[in-house]
Structure 1
């Protein structure tokens, strides 16, 4: 397989590094409009073929798959052209700038029998996969709620708000570990600087009574990456800032007392 990486800024070098270390990947092409980024990639990864020609990467019959790590507004046109030219596509989150664009890409990939994938990295980590295993095995019982906090000071994005930038991580984790269908979503946010929301709260309700809440912010004095999942038997805390023991299980439930006696929920 030969892979092209378009966008060599913040996340692109990580994609290049991982593709180079992936068995079966014969060659990696790195593409960016910035000469300095191209020179940086070439200095770090001499085996990479570098180019400023985006059209070459999207159209070349020699390239089997394309990874896109560019500003969000460019995701749709780049991914669309790549799929139309017979390439599998990996896109950094968020997939597109609108639901309609995302649906168009999904339909196009299905029509052309190509893989279209969003790089929701957390669902491939050992910690999140362990959480899913605990839930699927019934160890924490029936889920009551999913509560997430992802806050820090900056980085302020110029093209998407804090929901699209930060909450997408936790929404992907929620979607991965909870086997229920949401029935309603509400989101509230506000902007303090450039017209793009920098703090927001999201509520999600499920058809079986589970409630999920997300707090995301670029205006916090500390960095917090914490998820709390409460069940009828046990509770889980997932703290991604912990160097070890990211997942902790608490053997705590709820006891209800009444005139008839004590009932453990």
Structure 2
């Protein structure tokens, strides 16, 4: 029972501890401290000096170096994990076994098998396991989800996503596991039925001989006949974060680096109903009708996405429901990444994407 429960209704702030004071931990700490649903109870990190800097940056909270001390504290309702991916499974499993709700930064785990264990344990314990898919809480992505759900784009035909920059080469993961979770989580959030990829073909390159892919491409046929494509790159001198979602009615372009016009909706494309079913190439080409309509840009508020993340985490706990980006969403992303790793080992051969909770070997 959480510290704020009374007669089954939570009326007080929930107590949360941020585990990890590295790159992402300070952002989580700042938003939990600012959120009306939360009391930031402590910062936990093996490096107490680093934890203290984060704690001081949010006005001063206790710091602790031992995770066990956090998990044994009955006043702690939840933890937010911002540590390297290889540690997510052990920390989350220990927290769930201690009766704590858990939010984990992307990716949910470092393998699909470990992700399955985490999701199952949360379900067994009746606890919230949430993936911190931050982009899904941006005003732009929330608007994309709304437009797709309302049918503004029609049936989805393709998704092309590019996330490239001159970035830090990670010591423990390749470019797929570092950058692609953002794009995959967005697709899972906005597409009807989630990221329902049937297979994955992955091609990676290691031109710097780092021992891992620094440039990568994913191709994913989707259930229903659409195609999704993701390009990720640590070596590009220019930074691009763009996604194009094409439908039978309209095409949407999301340019995350253009704050003046992040979203553009184009009423341009091919009118499929006008395409002849006659199989000859000449007849088909003669009957294609191109549509050149208006372009419009939805108005979007400017607010920090992490504020929405911590608000959703609290709401899921209070309402006893899965989070909008719950463990199942994190697992669908892991399923694609695992299939991509298998495809890389086969020089790009397509690999099937496993179902959410089917049996897997650890």
Larger helix proportion of the pair:
2
Cα distance in 1 between the residues matched to 2:71 and 2:219:
39
Structure 1 outlier segments of 4+, above 2 Å: 190-194, 255-265
Cα distance in 2 between the residues matched to 1:234 and 1:10:
38
Pick one of 106, 128, 135 that aligns with 1:122.
135
**Whose relative contact order is higher, 1 or 2, with alpha carbons under 8 Å and at least 6 apart?**
2
**Is contact 1:19-1:28 (8 Å) kept?**
no
1:15 aligns with 2:25: no
- How large is the Cα RMSD of the aligned pairs? 1.7
Post-superposition Cα deviations, 1:194-240, rounded to whole Å, max 9, x if no partner, equal 21211111011112110000000101011110001111121111011
Structure 2: 5+ residue runs without aligned partners?
A: 1-13, 277-282, 292-362
Q: Aligned pair in 2 of structure 1 residues 123, 27: CA closer, same or farther (>3 Å)?
A: closer
Cα distance in 2 between the residues matched to 1:257 and 1:45:
60
Could you say which residue in structure 2 is the equivalent of 1:252? 268
- 1:178-217 alignment runs, 5 A limit: 178-180=191-193, 181-191=196-206, 192-217=208-233
Cα drift, residue 72 of structure 1: 1.0
Cα distance in 2 between the residues matched to 1:212 and 1:249:
19
Q: Secondary structure at the match of 2:186?
A: helix
Q: How many residues align?
A: 265
Cα distance in 2 between the residues matched to 1:99 and 1:80:
14
Q: Secondary structure at the match of 1:253?
A: strand
**Is contact 2:18-2:81 (8 Å) kept?**
yes
Cα distance in 1 between the residues matched to 2:172 and 2:287:
57
Could you say which residue in structure 2 is the equivalent of 1:29? 42
Could you say which residue in structure 1 is the equivalent of 2:235? 219
- 1:50-129 alignment runs, 5 A limit: 50-129=63-142
Q: Aligned pair in 2 of structure 1 residues 48, 186: CA closer, same or farther (>3 Å)?
A: same
Structure 1: 5+ residue runs without aligned partners?
A: none
Cα distance in 2 between the residues matched to 1:111 and 1:187:
34
Larger strand proportion of the pair:
1
